[in-house]
Structure 1
Amino acid sequence: MGALHRGGIRSEWAFAAGFGSIALSLLAWLASRAKPGDDRAQSDRWGLFVGHWAPTFFALGLALRSEERH
């Protein structure tokens, strides 16, 4: 975390990426559902794949916030 903090990465950016990945997850799911060749299971997998990024970004945001306070 120290290297990310020293590199200029801010906690706000990580939190924004977390919320952005939630929106991207919904968009990926909707786009996959709109394609005629994909079935529902494939759409769900795309949405879940991108949706798993959000907790990682939020955890990074919390860790970076801790670095910012020191």
Structure 2
Amino acid sequence: MLEQLHNSGLKAEHCYAAGMVSVGLAFTSWLLSKRFEHAGIERADRWGIFIGEWAPTFFAMGNGLRTYEK
């Protein structure tokens, strides 16, 4: 699968950037959910954790793609 992504033009830097963006989105979604939703801190925590779980996947994909770039 990583080889197909590499052949389609996806680079490790793209995945690393997506990982960093997802960290920022996790914090932002947590903050906005906490501030504007009336469901409480539990829902804000769930949003932050849900989006925050994407970051390790993007970083791992970046590491995998890096092997094809060498």
TM-score by length of 1: 0.95
Runs of 4+ off more than 6 Å: none
Which ranges in structure 1 are unaligned for 5 or more consecutive residues?
none
Question: What does the per-residue CA deviation read over 1:4-35, in whole Å, with 9 as the maximum and x for residues that have no partner?
Answer: 00000000000000000000000000000111
* 1:56 aligned residue: 57
Structure 2 unpaired stretches of 5+: none
Deviations along 1:42-65, whole A, 9 cap, x unmatched?
000000000000000000000000
**What is the percent sequence identity of the aligned residues?**
42
Query: Could you tell me how far 1:38 is from its partner in structure 2?
Result: 2.0
Q: State the superposition RMSD in angstroms.
A: 0.7
Aligned to 2:21: 20
Partner-residue secondary structure (3-state), 1:37: coil
Q: Counterpart amino acid of 2:52? A: G
Q: How many residues get paired? A: 69
